[in-house]
Amino acid sequence: MAVTKLQRRARIKKGIRRKISGTGEIPRVSVFRSNKAIYGQIIDDLKGVTLVSASLSEVGKDSLTVETSKEVGKKLAEKAVAAGINSVVFDRNGYPYHGRVKAFAEGAREGGLKF
């Protein structure tokens, strides 16, 4: 039986989550990408708490492009720096590190996050 895109992504995601985990000192940045938006969260996995989040709607744009993904990453980094978070671990959530996910990561780096 053929493996679907969602099953493939779930398998990759499990492999990534096996290797990385966020702590209080170095939390995890998780990215979710849909066809219409992109979302980012900074998570402390030990407590199971979302510390900071940002999405496309907070930037004030309605279309998802590489440029708007970069702006969402910068917005998340601004919130994180204001909350006292400087270094994080990046979780691409099973998506290829390319296009909108890569632009999100670059925007977060430009905003002041280290990973």
What is residue 111's predicted lDDT score, i.e. its pLDDT? Answer: 95
Question: Phi first, then psi: what are they for 47, rounded to 5°?
Answer: -90, -20
Q: What is the pLDDT of residues 92-114, one digit of tens each?
A: 999 999 999 999 999 999 999 99
Q: Is 88's pLDDT higher than 90?
A: yes
What is residue 90's predicted lDDT score, i.e. its pLDDT? Answer: 95
What is residue 84's predicted lDDT score, i.e. its pLDDT? Answer: 94
* R_g of the chain computed on alpha carbons: 14
Q: How far apart, in whole angstroms, are the C-alpha atoms of residue 36 and residue 31?
A: 14
What's the start-to-end Cα distance of the chain, in Å? 38
User: Hey, which CATH number is domain 5-111, 2.60.120.10, 3.20.20.70, 3.40.50.720, 3.30.420.100?
Assistant: 3.30.420.100
Q: What is the pTM for the complete model shown?
A: 0.90
